[in-house]
Structure 1
């Protein structure tokens, strides 16, 4: 059995940058076990699988070790594949996630815009378990649906911080977002998720469903620019729409091929 596969770099305008995601178009769902094995073999932050049903695309995402509730960069990559390689008509793709509900991606030239549900956070105490995860202490801590959000004072702290992955992996969360106000953009961030099989994610679209409402409130503006300060870097435009968030970026195809399955 042959299975088509694409690899796309998301939230970038050139290959070898942004966040790579694999995309597998399916006629019908493979077993959960097989999809997890494919994701593990790909060894990327996320592998997306989709099946077209009733005019929309049902979408699931897997890290090398677990299925996740929401993934921004792999959704962007999937939309890129549909627009450019799988003959999807028009400039909007409607997705449905069993874990996150209706999602959409709109095309405007080279820019793709995700429309995702907002993730609201609540302040929490800066416990020893949280602060043990980094060599610098954050100023504030919050908890969203799946992630911790730690706020620092400067972009330089985010850029230069040293994560303690063993301590982070013990936290009961998908991962930890760290953020600060940016020098040349509205905010910067990084994301660490060793407990989900991703030590540091290059660009985390779903984390911006948390970051966008937080910084919209802090900065008093609904449209924001952002950089994720991983080694590969990612560039995002974000818009706060109350219960929804728009996250925009570009994508580039890196690979198109076939998987051989027994």
Structure 2
């Protein structure tokens, strides 16, 4: 079954809409990077450069008796292993679903363990292992490359598949619901596809107001229409601004 990484995520059974009995006025699902992407991209770029340098260093210090192509294969395997590990940390995406009704805004956010990553690692490990074993019939030193490349990916696969702590780290389910009257500010982000809301609510069991932000992640060129839709449901005295938004952000712009 081919992987479809661009397919919109379905709401998981662990999450239910509070106002499911009300007609949906607007809604969508999206995968988004819910963090400061500039910092994450800089981290990935730095690690990519460092990994390239490390792979080149490995290439310049050959294993005694290893052929040129063997050393090259080991360097490439090292680079792929570190790059895949880094990208899995800096380019994670959170699933989000939004549902607007007459009562207000509902927002579900979840992250499930990426089964596609296991499938990718399993196939990549198997394919590269077969290649190295075949090449080892020509030059036995390719078995060393098999330990560094496919061996490292296989170890990563076993860790991801069998570690409960690792799976729990990549699994989250959250549901939020806000009434229109609880929204105190509407903002359109000038630097990302985000509509940001400030809200003020009294949490269950509290006797004070909680003031915070809600980032609504939009599809390309959707945020203007989303903001316009939200604005007509808010009180006329609610501020409507445009601002650069950093994620995660504080309660101040």
Higher percent of residues as strand: 1
Q: What range describes the TM-score normalised by the shorter chain of this pair? A: under 0.3
Higher percent of residues as helix: 2
Give TM-score scaled by structure 1 length. Answer: 0.21
